[in-house]
Structure 1
Amino acid sequence: MDQKLTLNGNPITLTGYNINGNNYFMLRDIGRAVGFSVAWNGSTRTVEIDTARPYEEEQPADSVAPTDGSRYVPQVGDTIRCPDGTDYTITDVSRWDKNAFVSGPLGELPQPTCDWSSFPEIELPAAEVRHFQLESGEYLFIRNLYETRRMQYTLQNLAGNHPDTSKDGKLAYGGKGSPAVSIKLSIPSEISAYSFWPWRESEIENLFHSCPPGTYYMEAWDVYKDGVFQRTEYNIRAV
């Protein structure tokens, strides 16, 4: 809410935040009003205040967060702009395709082994970044649209070649026009999904063969902690 204050006897207005009965103000807003420098030092994770320097608006860093569904391979120094205004810098990608369960980089996306045009058109969800500051560290989740499509295409090939969900290499439909398999590329918060990493096609296969007809919710996320890449996490649920 807007809070009226006076600065050297002159009225000013700042946005205030009432937390547990106390009023708080953004330090940048105070610096802007009073005229002293406020800056964030990402390397030392320190707020730097310099009353001898005038306030300057900080220019946001260019973000490399992917938005078009293309493959994104993170690099040290990449900066991701978060919805809360934080610029999250990637500092370590040594785990990318290099952990105890991965033999090497993933290949290209699956190619059709059935008639994909027989499936309902599926729109990719919007690019999304989630930023969390927890006691255990600073986390970043980037929706990986490319790997989400890997999950989708794998499932489409399974459904288009299974006798319970296909006919003549095409997805089967019920009497009311409902598809034997429905695919959703995001998971609502009320649905509890199963997570696995790294990528294993067998995880999709095993779930599909356990209940071929149905609705499948799926999504993939790149996970970082304190700037360090942790994993690409695959989430799926069949109902």
Structure 2
Amino acid sequence: MSDWSDRTLGMNRPIARRDFISGVAVGVAASGLSLPAWAAEAPDYPPLKTGLRGQYPGSFETAHMARDGSFGGAVPADDSGEHYDLVIVGGGISGLSAAHFYRQALGDDRKILILDNHDDFGGHAKRNEFHYGGRTILAYGGTMSIESPFPYSFTSKKLLADLGVDLASYERFETKAYAGLGNATFFDRQHFLNDKLVTGTGKKPWPQFFAEAPLSPAVRADLTRLHTQVKDH
């Protein structure tokens, strides 16, 4: 990375790369959508009715402990006396397909246990919801356009046929839903000079984008210089 990341951005104080990312919210047509905290707590908020809450509390704490080096090792398990022909870890499309193929090959009387860190199945076929800094952030669960049959393998297509999914009559998602909209970057006043939404992220010439962003003159000059160096190489 360049030396500008440790200089002042919007305000006259040092700011780290992490702060820069935290202070910028990518807008329409990007991976996430930010909602005010009150929206997620409203009684008519759809996920509260449907249960589609993504990586909800209880599903990621142990993984975060392992990431942060505070995991104490394997969790002791009690012998339940249960016996299974197959144990599958993960209740997403791959785990569910594995169970399906196993029974196809060895018979429907096979006893299978599917383990997952969520209380429902589907894996990436859902959305994620995070609560951070007083905001609710929504994003894809990890897979976008999974409904497209190309370039699915023969095995994948046969699975869909076995499940009764008729690809010929399947209507894909609305491609014109965001017509007329584009990418934008929101700069917040906690990290920059003021709150400002700069449109045209990725399409507007970067020197113009930097000129419109609420940055200090020194940082704007650094970013322009960095852009020139990258473009020349």
TM-score (norm 2): 0.20
More helix by share: 2
Task: Name the structure, 1 or 2, with higher relative contact order (CA <8 Å, separation 6+).
Answer: 2
Name the structure where strand makes up a greater proportion of residues: 1
| TM-score (ref. length: structure 1) | 0.19
